[in-house]
Amino acid sequence: MLQQRRFNVTGLCVPGKHYMANTSEKLAKIMRFVEQGDYFTINRGRQYGKTTTLALLEKQLPKEYSVIKISFEGVSDSMFEAEADFCQGLLKQCSKYFNERNLPGSEAWIDSSVTTFDLLDAFLNKTCREKKIVLMIDEVDKTSNNFIFLKFLGILRDKFLKRSDGAGATFHSVILAGVYDIKNLKLKMIQAGTHQLQDGEKRTNSPWNIAIDFNVDMSFNEKEIASMLMEYENDRKTGMDIEAVSKEIRLYTSGYPYLVSRLCQKIDEELDYDWTSAGLQKAVKLVLIEQSTLFDDLFKNVKSYSELRDLLYSILINGKSFAFNSDNSSMNLGLMFGILAQANEKIAVHNRIFEIRITNYFATEKEIQDSKLTMRTSVEEVAFENKFDMPLLLEKFASHYYEMYNNKDITFLERECRLLFITYLRPFINGAGFYHLESETRNAKRMDIVVDYQSEQFIVELKLWYGEASHEKAYEQLFGYLERKNKAVGYLLTFDFRKEDNIGKPQAKWIEYKGKKIFDCMVGV
């Protein structure tokens, strides 16, 4: 009996064993780099499909190429302590590749005399002269001490330049894969405590300036997600709307490979094959509360790099928008780790699931710091019998906010009011729903929060008070968003910081606006 295929989120994905997206177009682009003899780095966030991509490329390269694919994962750090250790370790890894696959050629990579980089240079001149050898090194950033490896890259750079000038032989193409870009490996050593910057020393270095820019989008688009679901549907016959499900998965994940497969795995293995919008929302809720190496790594980086944390806070909580700047170190860190992405020449959090997880992290921090945020309303008053009373929640928050913060510094409140609301909201929807922040409407003056609770969806616009004209404009903005979402009811929460009599007291009312019902709630100090 054939083994039934499944969705995989750990380790290598294998055709015939796992459901996989058809990434043939991406592989064709990478193949052209190899054919051109290019050297390049595939640096993407954790669990972004790098190892699987190398494995697929290895199998699809024509027979005219001799492939050697090795990994630094699990390799002893002693290999990186001295030239002799590295040279011998590298040759043993290459020999091991042939042995493990029962391929001829392993003996050609055994030479105990190669104990310096000069001798390795001569060895490669001889070995690479008559064959097109493609070297793939996965997990290049796994070791915490990379100086010896960086020296090796310098050797490859020099050999590449000599080959271009018609002198000597070297690997036809070299592909390095890892999270850290080569120029940022020193950052990893600093973080690991294995290196301290000396006076005048730069935090980045570039021994790999011969490498071409790897501009292949490794995220899954809707078509690629659909190709995976089509394989699944051919096996399981669930009757899902493949196009609609693919589009919604892409909406939550922005195609981050691990998140795509994880949502599918949740529906397949834990949610009784519920391939509906409601089933996908249940899968999202499960992913939002689970621990995984991906999220462990995400928050390790948020906590380790304060400039990255501040940038995320400004984007998610303060609604600030930033044009992408390739010279900005915090933006580059976020891109390298897969936390950020470029969108319309601006920088944004990569996907909706990351947005929610990171915002929840900030909200939890605020809740721990500020005991005033402890809600005085029971969950059952607002959420009962699978229904959610959003008007009541807004009124309760407005009263709580006015009571707790009416003597607080205005500058603080303008900066923190949105986070205070999110922190207040979370306990009421935990376990039964979740929220996300709409990136298209998020700015310093306005932020839309979409709350999904069971089968209901609530659109809540958060605004700062800028006068009557601005408030009228808020109705029009919310109306437009409700139209796009095909919703008849919306909610407007306005923070008013005018120090005038009675202004700060909570006020709430229902209004009709162009056929839409809007619950207008105002709170201030």
Alpha helix stretches (DSSP H) within 105-256 = 117-127, 147-164, 185-192, 222-236, 242-253
345-356 tens-digit pLDDT: 899 999 999 999
Mean pLDDT of 486-495: 94
pLDDT on residue 117: 96
Phi, psi of 194 (to 5 degrees): -95, 0
C-alpha angle 479-484-487 in degrees, rounded to nearest 5: 65
Which pLDDT band, with edges at 50, 70 and 90, does 442 fall under?
A: low
Q: What whole-number distance in Å separates Cα of residue 411 and Cα of residue 282?
A: 38
pLDDT exceeds 80 at position 373: no
Architecture of domain 24-192 in this structure: 2-Layer Sandwich (3.30)
Q: What whole-number distance in Å separates Cα of residue 144 and Cα of residue 80?
A: 9
By DSSP bridging, strand 383-384 and strand 387-388 are antiparallel
Helix (H/G/I), strand (E/B), else coil: 508: strand
Mean pLDDT of the chain: 88
Per mean pLDDT, which of 182-196, 463-477, 490-504 is the most reliable?
Answer: 463-477
pLDDT exceeds 70 at position 414: no
64-113 tens-digit pLDDT: 999 999 999 888 888 988 999 999 999 999 999 999 999 988 999 999 99
54-63 tens-digit pLDDT: 999 999 998 8
Mean pLDDT of 231-241: 96
pLDDT on residue 194: 63
pLDDT exceeds 60 at position 1: no
Higher pLDDT, 338 or 194: 338
> Is the CB of residue 324 less than 8 Å from the CB of residue 346?
yes
Which pLDDT band, with edges at 50, 70 and 90, does 420 fall under?
A: confident
Provide the token pair at 299: 């928050």
Mean pLDDT of 492-511: 75
pLDDT on residue 408: 61
The alpha carbon of residue 304 and the mean position of all alpha carbons in its chain are separated, in whole angstroms, by 16
pTM: predicted TM-score of the whole model, two decimal places = 0.89
pLDDT exceeds 70 at position 157: yes
Q: What whole-number distance in Å separates Cα of residue 427 and Cα of residue 377?
A: 10
Distance set, CA 516 to CA 186, 377, 394, 441, 510 (Å): 56, 29, 18, 19, 10
Mean pLDDT of 208-235: 95
Domain residue ranges in the chain: 24-192, 222-290, 369-524
- 509's CB contacts (< 8 A; 6+ apart) are 519, 520
